[in-house]
Amino acid sequence: MTQRLALVTGASRGLGAAIAEQLALRGWHVVAVARTVGGLEDLDDRVKAAGLPGAGALTLAPMDVTNDDAMRHLCRSIHDRWGGLNLWVHAAIHAAPLAPAGHLDQKDWEKSLATNTRATGMLIPMVEPLLLAHQGTALFLDDLRAGQPFFGAYGATKAAQMALARSWQAETARHGPRVLIAAPAGLPTATRARFFPGEDRTRLADVQAEAARILDAL
């Protein structure tokens, strides 16, 4: 297979969707993973509507990254069909509502742990052999909220995710796969709107432009 292949987890909305869209428009074949079927279909519609010559294709995979069996089956299918991956972009996240640490909702805490931390620890061993097969790259998206007031659930579990990514980065520096960490600008996404509902969104960066900037840096 000569076409480059990317796996984007968390591809139905926000920066993950924008990165998946930019990759497809640049000629990549993108396996787009998310729970929201409608969001994945909207992504597919946007790529097709662009009508760019040489654009890549999308394989929509509506599944939950916290479902170990589903993700294991997906990675096995990628191996059997394409032999490996050139790029993995991990953008899946659960943005728990802001709350004092002393009043964390148990369900939100458990979901934050499952999506932001545990899923990452399960996915890295699944995806690493696929990236090694094609000398690929893993890309994580940082968000420095750890320790900020009211960001207990999101900040702590996102920080744990990034600690895993940085350990993996240090361990694979000599022999691969390449692990990169990007720090996106503030974006007018639904996740940020939950955190800062009253802010002036016109001052935030354009999502598509930020996705293009991050990919250019690869």
* pLDDT recorded at residue 1: 52
* pLDDT recorded at residue 159: 96
Both tokens of residue 35?
């729970």
pLDDT tens digit string along 134-176?
Answer: 999 999 999 988 888 999 999 999 999 999 999 999 999 999 9
Q: Are 90 and 9 in contact (CB under 8 A)?
A: yes
Both tokens of residue 75?
């990675």
Check pLDDT > 80 for residue 214.
yes
**Per-residue confidence at 55, pLDDT binned at 50, 70, 90?**
confident
**Per-residue confidence at 87, pLDDT binned at 50, 70, 90?**
very high
Can you tell me the distance from the alpha carbon of 149 to that of 65, in angstroms, rounded to the nearest whole number?
Answer: 28
The domain spans of the chain are 5-217
Listed in sequence order, the residues at least 6 apart from 79 whose beta carbon sits closer than 8 Å to its beta carbon are 129, 130, 133
Check pLDDT > 80 for residue 107.
yes
| Distance spanning both ends of the chain, measured CA to CA | 21
Query: How buried is 75 (Cβ within 10 angstroms: 0-12 exposed, 13-18 middle, 19+ buried)?
Result: buried
**Residue given tokens 């930020």 in the structure block:** 210
Average pLDDT score, the chain: 95
**Per-residue confidence at 218, pLDDT binned at 50, 70, 90?**
confident
Can you tell me the distance from the alpha carbon of 129 to that of 6, in angstroms, rounded to the nearest whole number?
Answer: 14
Q: Are 92 and 12 in contact (CB under 8 A)?
A: no
Q: Are 218 and 6 in contact (CB under 8 A)?
A: no
Check pLDDT > 90 for residue 85.
yes
pLDDT tens digit string along 1-35?
Answer: 578 999 999 999 999 999 999 999 999 999 999 99
Can you say whether the dihedral through the CA atoms of 135, 141, 61, 119 is positive or negative?
Answer: positive
* pLDDT recorded at residue 54: 80
Q: Which fold would CATH assign to domain 5-217?
A: Rossmann fold (3.40.50)
What strands lie across the sheet with 87-90, from one edge to the other? 57-62, 29-34, 5-9, 87-90, 137-141, 178-182
Can you tell me the distance from the alpha carbon of 23 to that of 8, in angstroms, rounded to the nearest whole number?
Answer: 10
* pLDDT recorded at residue 51: 85
* pLDDT recorded at residue 120: 98
Note the Cα 181 to chain centre separation in Å: 11
pLDDT tens digit string along 124-135?
Answer: 999 999 999 999
Distances from the Cα of 4 to the Cαs of 44, 46, 171, in angstroms? 18, 20, 25
